[in-house]
Amino acid sequence: MASYRASRVREQLQRELSEIVRKLRDPRLGFVTVMDVELSNDLHYATMFISVLGDEDAQQEAIEAIESALGYIRREIAQRIHLRQAPEITVRYDNTSERAARVSALIDSIPPPAPDISEPVAGEGESLSP
């Protein structure tokens, strides 16, 4: 279980990373969202999970753009969050939203259950008892 301090630093790191990535001026970055951040207990390693609007090529280009800017991003984090050492950041694609949309589409495609014909249905004002 992560310590209280690690969870606070993780939340602050996610906010700062979102703002830094939003301000990057790389044409390969389209609509990128920082979905989550995992932080090691010793605060030395962080994994940034991003979501990208677009196809697989856009996703790969966005990851490459962020990876090429990791030096800048780490320096910005060091200035914004006062830690003994800025964490080493890795970037991974988060496909949670795509999986959720696929599951929702599958659920919507299930036909409604057929009514049970074996039991008589009582209308308004009618009673089923003889």
| pLDDT at residue 105, as a whole number | 84
Residue 129: count other Cβ atoms within 10 Å of its Cβ.
Answer: 4
Spatial separation of the C-alpha atoms in residues 122 and 130, rounded to whole Å:
12
Spatial separation of the C-alpha atoms in residues 9 and 80, rounded to whole Å:
11
Tell me which fold the domain 4-96 belongs to: GMP Synthetase; Chain A, domain 3 (3.30.300)
Q: Please compute Rg for the chain using Cα positions.
A: 24
Residues in the chain: 130
Mean pLDDT of all residues in 68-87: 93
Enumerate the domain spans of the chain: 4-96
Q: Is the pLDDT of residue 18 over 90?
A: yes
pTM for this entry? 0.73
Q: Is the pLDDT of residue 39 over 90?
A: yes
Among 80-94, 101-115, 116-130, name the one with the lowest average pLDDT.
Answer: 116-130
Alpha helices in the chain (DSSP H): 4-23, 56-68, 70-80, 96-109
